[in-house]
Structure 1
Amino acid sequence: MIIDFIENSARYEGLHPSFKIAFDRLKQQDKAALDGWVDEENGVKMFGFKGESKTKEKALETFECHDKNIDIQFCISGKEGFLWKPRANCSIANGDYNTEKDVRFFNDAPDTYFELQANQFVIFFPEDVHAPMIGDAELNKIVVKVLI
């Protein structure tokens, strides 16, 4: 997991061949206009979300990780909370892996809680189990899926 501000994204572009594309799209995107999925080239697609946040308890119902994609989650405005735990320390599966949606869920207790503020991003690799969308106000965010 990596947390930083969008202005520092160049530091991470060498970690994956499509990260530069993903970060360039985030910087250039009309963030207010993005609503729903936008398919992109080179294994990068974006999803704009504006809506209600969740409690920590509700977010834990979808404590998730991915096998085929890396998530870059970007906070446009306000704050967004996340729960996190290393996948290697998770042992209580919540259903089977969904190949179509590239998601698996766990019922383990998280190790960490953190918040993003406006213009911050978090990168979740397959080894990062996470529960996003925690807060007490409306969320305004973008999720970028980068195919591994």
Structure 2
Amino acid sequence: MILDKIQNASLYINLHKGITKALEYIENTNFSTLENGKHIIDGDDVFAIVKEYQTKKIDENILEAHLKYIDVHYIIEGKEQIGITMFNNQKPTELYDEDNDFMLFNKPSDYITLHKGMFAVFFLMIFICQKLR
């Protein structure tokens, strides 16, 4: 996992071409002009999903993990609390859905907080997101 401010994105551009494209997109996009939904960056390989949603209580959320895609989260407004845990062969509560690239789990072990202008890169980790007011 990587956690940093978007101003430091240049430190990570050589890790993976998809991460480079995602971070460049974040740096060069005015998100206030984008509608919610999926935005193609590089075909099926790299895309952005812009979401706006209602806050849930942390215990109402579930953890998710991806096997196909690396997940890059960027906070446009406010702050968001994310529950995380390392993947250690836990049994999922919902088995892996290959078409939608996710599986679901319970109980995070740690929480991190992302503030406006921060990003996180999740490789194979289990995480949930909780928007903070």
Distance across 2 between alignment mates of 1:119 and 1:136: 15
Task: Give 1:112's aligned residue.
Answer: 110
Residue 121 (str. 1) matches residue 119 (str. 2): yes
Distance across 2 between alignment mates of 1:2 and 1:136: 20
Q: Percent identity?
A: 24
Task: Give 1:145's aligned residue.
Answer: none
Task: Give 1:103's aligned residue.
Answer: 102
Large movers: runs of 4+ above 3 Å: none
Residue 15 (str. 1) matches residue 11 (str. 2): no
Unaligned segments of structure 1, at least 5 residues = 138-148
Q: With structure 2 as the length reference, what TM-score do the two structures score?
A: 0.91
Task: Give 2:79's aligned residue.
Answer: 79
What CA RMSD, in Å, does the superposition of the two structures yield over aligned residues?
A: 1.4
Distance across 2 between alignment mates of 1:95 and 1:47: 22
Distance across 2 between alignment mates of 1:115 and 1:9: 18
Unaligned segments of structure 2, at least 5 residues = none
More RCO (CA 8 Å, sep 6+): 1
- 8 Å contact 1:83–1:113 — kept in the other structure? yes
Residue correspondences, number: 131
Q: With structure 1 as the length reference, what TM-score do the two structures score?
A: 0.83
Distance across 2 between alignment mates of 1:81 and 1:26: 20
Distance across 2 between alignment mates of 1:87 and 1:136: 25
- 8 Å contact 2:72–2:121 — kept in the other structure? yes
Equivalent of residue 49 in structure 1, options 48, 51, 59: 51
